[in-house]
Amino acid sequence: QSALTQPASVSGSPGQSITISCTGTSTDIGFYNYVSWYQQHPGKAPKRIIYDVTKRPSGVSNRFSGSKSGNTASLTISGLQAEDEADYFCNSYTGSGTLFGGGTKLTVL
């Protein structure tokens, strides 16, 4: 199984919105509504920010939102803040386990 495909990096200025894509196949993202997203700051463990494609855990800012179309899931961060600078990973259920994306480094300019 190959990792889900994410752009290596994205950037945006404070206050702007950015979207990170995560592309899989018809046997993972395209088949199941089980996509999650994680934020990871340097030297820290990942933190769940989206699950089941669109659900946001308690305590996570509503500036984070998730969506899916076909084999591609997306994470949108609105009103960018300096603290959003981090690595972001997507994850999908595959029917027999889970698969992570390669990660996207978000730089807040």
Partner 1 sequence: QVQLQESGPGLVKPSQTLSLTCTVSGSSISDGGYYWSWIRQHPGKGLEWIAYVYYGGNTYYNPSLKSRVNMSVDTSKNHFSLDLSSVTAADTAVYYCARVMWPNSYDYWGQGTLVTVSS
Among residues 4, 1, 83, 78, which one has the least CA distance to residue 37?
4
- Residue placing its CB nearer to partner 1 in the complex, 47 or 63: 47
Nearer to partner 1, 15 or 65 (CB): 65
Instruction: For the CB of residue 80, give the shortest distance to partner 1 in the complex, in Å.
Output: 22
Q: Which is nearer to partner 1, 8 or 13 (CB)?
A: 8
CA angle 100, 103, 29 (to 5 degrees): 40
**Judged by CB, which is closer to partner 1: 17, or 55?**
55
What b/e readout covers 54-86, taking b as 16+ CB neighbours within 10 angstroms?
eebeeebeeebbbebeebbbbbebeebeeebbb
Positions in the binding site for partner 1 (CB under 8 A): 1, 3, 32, 34-36, 38, 45-48, 51-52, 57, 89, 91-93, 96-103
**Minimum distance from CB of 30 to partner 1 (Å)?**
15
